[in-house]
Amino acid sequence: MSSGALTQRAIGSLLILPVAAVALFPPAGTLAVTVLLIALAAREAARILTKVIGGASALWITVILVSPLFAAASPALGAVLTITALLIFVGTVVRRAIRTTAKGLEPELRLLLGTLAAVIWLSPLTLLPLLASLDPLDRGAPARWIIWLLAIVWTADSAAYLVGRTIGRRKLAPVLSPRKSLEGFVGGILVAGLVGALIAGPLFTLGTPEEVRPLWGLVWGLIIATAAEAGDLLESLFKRVAGAESASNLIPGHGGVLDRIDSLLLAAPVTLIAALILRG
C-alpha cells in the first residue's frame, strides 16, 4: 500500500472512530449512529441493487429500517410503524403497477424486489440499539456487548489483512474476492477469537461463572468472527455482480459505509444470540 493510500486510510479512520465511540453510549448515541448508518448504507445498497436487480429505493429502505427503532420508546409503536411502512411501500408500487403500461410492470417489480432485498440485507443494523441496551456496566457507561462486537469484528478484519499480506498464498475466493487468502481468513478468525476470550473476563459479569468466561469468549469470538468474515464476503458478492469495486468513495481510504459495516451485518445477530445465551 502506497504512502498516499495509507494517508487516506488514516484520514478515513479519524472519521470512523468518533462515530464508533458515540455508538457505545446508549440509548441516544447508539440510536443516532444507527439511524446515520441506515441512511448512508441505504443509498449505497440501493445503488448496488439497482445494478444487480434493476431497481431499489434508498428512501423506502431508510423509512422501513428506521421504523422499528421506535421500539425503544414503545415496542408496539415500533411494530406498528414498521408494518405500516411496509404496507405503504408495497401499496405504492402496486398502485403504480395498476396504472402503468405493460412495459412498466417489470421496473416496478424490480423496484419492489430490490428494495426488499436491501431491507433484508441491512436489517441487522436495527439490532444495535437492542444489543447496546443489554446489561449496561453502569449508568452512562459504554455498552459492553457493542464493545465486544466491535473488538472482534475489527480484529478479524485487521488480522486477516496482516496475516494475508504476510503469509497468504492460497486464494480464498478467486472470483468473489481475489485479494483474500485462505491463510488470512483463518488467521483473522483465530486472532479475533483470542481477543474475544481476553476481554470476556472484564466485560461479562452475568450468567457465566468467572472461570469459564474466557472459554465462552473464545468459542463465541470464533463464531462471531466467522460471521463477520461471511458478511464481508456477502457484500463482495453484491459488488462483484454489480461490477463495483467499492460501495462508494464516501470514506477516504475505506470506500463506502457498507464497506465498513458489511461484517457487522452478520456478526451483530450472532452477537445478540451470544448475549442472550451468556446472560443466562
For residues 178 and 202, the model is more confident at 178
Residue 156: which H helix or E strand, with range? helix 144-167
Inter-residue contact 149 to 267 (CB < 8 Å): yes
Expressed in angstroms, the distance from the first to the final Cα of the chain is 46
Per-domain residue ranges of the chain? 3-278
Q: Distance from CA of residue 193 to its chain's centroid?
A: 19
Q: What is the pLDDT of residues 28-61, one digit of tens each?
A: 999 999 999 999 999 999 999 999 999 999 999 9
* SS3 assignment, position 54: coil
Q: Distance from CA of residue 258 to its chain's centroid?
A: 7
Q: Kindly indicate the confidence band of residue 254, based on its pLDDT and cuts at 50, 70 and 90.
A: confident
Is residue 65 pLDDT above 80, yes or no?
Answer: yes
Q: Kindly indicate the confidence band of residue 207, based on its pLDDT and cuts at 50, 70 and 90.
A: low
Q: Cα torsion for 60, 62, 67, 69, to the nearest 10°? A: 170
Q: What is the pLDDT of residues 98-144, one digit of tens each?
A: 999 999 999 999 999 999 999 999 999 999 999 998 866 556 567 88
Q: Which three cell numbers stand for residue 71?
A: 421500539
Place of cell 468459542: 219
Backbone φ, ψ for residue 181 (5° rounding): -110, 155
Q: Which residues contact 190 (CB under 8 A, 6 or more apart)?
A: 159, 222
Distances from the Cα of 235 to the Cα of 44, 153, 170, 186, 249, angstroms: 11, 15, 21, 19, 15
Q: Which residues contact 206 (CB under 8 A, 6 or more apart)?
A: 135, 278, 279, 280
In this prediction, residue 229 carries a pLDDT of 96
Mean pLDDT of 186-213: 83
Residue 180: which H helix or E strand, with range? strand 177-181
Distance, CA of 74 to CA of 30 (rounded, Å): 17
176-212 residues labelled b (16+ CB within 10 A) or e (exposed): ebeebbebbbbbbbbbbbbbbbebbeebbeeebeeee
Is residue 211 pLDDT above 80, yes or no?
Answer: no
Q: Burial-class residue 248 by CB neighbours within 10 Å (0-12, 13-18, 19+).
A: middle
Q: Does the pTM exceed 0.95?
A: no
Q: Which three cell numbers stand for residue 92?
A: 405504492
Length of the chain in residues, anyone? 280
For residues 134 and 68, the model is more confident at 68
Distance, CA of 229 to CA of 57 (rounded, Å): 27
Q: Please give the radius of gyration of the chain, using alpha carbons only, rounded to the nearest integer.
A: 20
